[in-house]
Chain A
Amino acid sequence: MAKIVVLGAGISGHTAAAFIKKKLGKKHEVVVVSPGSYYQWIPSNIWVGVGRMSVDQVRFKLKKVYDKWKIDFKQAKAVSIHPEGNEVINRGFVTIEYTDPEKIGETEQVDYDYLVNATGPKLNFEGTPGLGPGKNTESVCSCDHAIHAWEKLQSCIKKMEAGEKQTFLVGTGHSMATCQGAAFEYILNVAYEIRKRKLEHLAELIWITNEYELGDFGMGGAFIKRGGYITSTKVFAESFLIENGIRWIKRAGVFEIEPGKANYETLDGEKNSVEFDFSMLIPGFSGVGLKAFDKNNEDITSTIFAPNGFTKVDADYTPKDFEEWKAADWPETYRNPTYRNIFAPGIAFAPPHSISKPMKSKNGTAIFPAPPRTGMPSGVSGKIVALNIVNLVKKGEHDLKHRASMAKMGAACVVSAGFGMTKGSAATMTVFPIVQDWDKYPEWGRSIKYTMGEPGLAGHWLKWTMHYMFLHKAKGYPFWWLLPE
């Protein structure tokens, strides 16, 4: 009997656990360790943050689903990995600390044959002084944050209804923050809510970003065939903001937030500030801070994890100049090269380099987005890790058959920009591949045939469909395994 431990019950970990259990059945044991009692469909937090969905529409209790699937669920956070075991336990194990109210603070050592680290990102609010909920800005990165953002947004709307002007600042809250798409989606939804209440004359909306040009989205932008031209996503993104009455500040690395004021440095080295009444800024991401120890209890964190805390996998981490980056640098199996029974799909793996070109200000501050890893690659990498582990359990060591590189995989991103079955709107974007392959597509880095951007009501329907489809899948409702990642 094999024992597979999955850390994290987000898009990646939940997908991996579901497929491993489905394919391996009763004879093998699957354990999921995750600190929250809920699964949350993070992309719909945008709608919670503008009051269009309740928190219970975007989340459900994990325990019920795992009981049905016969997966052992431990509501706890992993603290350290011991891939060689220690003098007591003669195989790999993870130390976990319970967050379950009934056992809170208790620790346990959970041994494994295979470990899937799908712990996603740590929302590194501390990386920017004054940033984040409970401090000076809001967030929509978790549903709890999104509820709070909506409360604050409502109070600003009330002020506008009383005739007071309000300034809304949305974007990236760190010079290397990523997830621009989510922030972009949020500002468009805030603009929609304000417009719907006919309050736009009292609102100033500002988009602040570390992108060199708008529409970079941390993937170096993209080129799209449209209106007889090949245009860049810069045009697409700027047009969307203009249409919604939003002005922008770009090439800006936010380094400090004071109450009602964001201080930032620009690529040309200037230090400026912008005032706000409401602000939602995405923090920098890092790994969740797991430690690793060898058999003798020596710290081997740097063997398993990159300096940013993400797990090293089968990527080429040799430092290279931007011009030398290759599609082949990106991982395909998400397997740790040192401890080959450890895998890290989703956001938890360390990317070999950014996708956007690295930029530094005159003062030496790096101001550019880190690589985003959206839902689709997170789900797909979770699934292929599951299928490979299943094959390892059944067939023993072999060349892993299932592969999914972000340089060979496309992504579909639906940026909602309004709500309602006839009034809603969204921009649907597809890129193929996510990481440019300049050898295969020398002109534009990606396939022009499969990369596209299109605004319209259909996009809203798509986003709506995805919300229900992915929750159906995550809840394990009939035929869940047929639905794509």
Chain B
Amino acid sequence: MSKTKRRGYYEEAYPPMPTKTTMFWRKEIFFQTYRFIVLNIKIIRIVVMGHS
């Protein structure tokens, strides 16, 4: 089977694919530790705002 992928003209061809760099940062421990803290703060903010 040929390894060539002809992209285009089918629905699956249009969404963005992450690049190698993006994939690297998604797993990079120090960056993800920082994002973990940021995400926790964002979620806590939403929880606090949500009910009275």
Contacts and interface: CB of A to CB of B under 8 A. Distances in A.
Interface of A: 235, 238-239, 241-243, 247-248, 376, 380, 383-384, 401-404, 408-412, 422-423, 425, 428, 430, 432, 450, 452, 454-459, 461-462, 484-485
Nearest to A452: B42
Contacts of B16: 235, 239
28 contacts: A235-B15, A238-B12, A238-B14, A238-B15, A239-B18, A243-B17, A247-B12, A248-B11, A248-B12, A404-B51, A404-B52, A409-B51, A412-B43, A412-B46, A412-B47, A423-B27, A450-B42, A454-B39, A456-B32, A456-B35, A457-B26, A457-B27, A457-B29, A457-B32, A458-B35, A459-B39, A462-B36, A484-B44
Nearest to A455: B26
In the complex, the 6 A-B pairs of residues with the closest C-beta atoms, listed nearest first: A410-B46, A238-B15, A404-B51, A409-B50, A458-B36, A458-B35
A458 B41 CA distance: 13
B35 A485 contact: no
A15 to B, nearest CB: 12
A252 B11 CA distance: 16
B15 A432 contact: no
Nearest to A484: B47
Interface string B16-41: 11100000011101001101100110
Interface core residue of A384, A432, A458 (most chain B CB under 10 Å): A458
A396 B42 CA distance: 37
B45 to A, nearest CB: 7
A231 to B, nearest CB: 9
A239 B51 CA distance: 33
Contacts of B50: 376, 380, 404, 408-410
A235 B11 CA distance: 12
Contacts of A412: 42-43, 46-47
A82 B13 CA distance: 57
B16 to A, nearest CB: 5
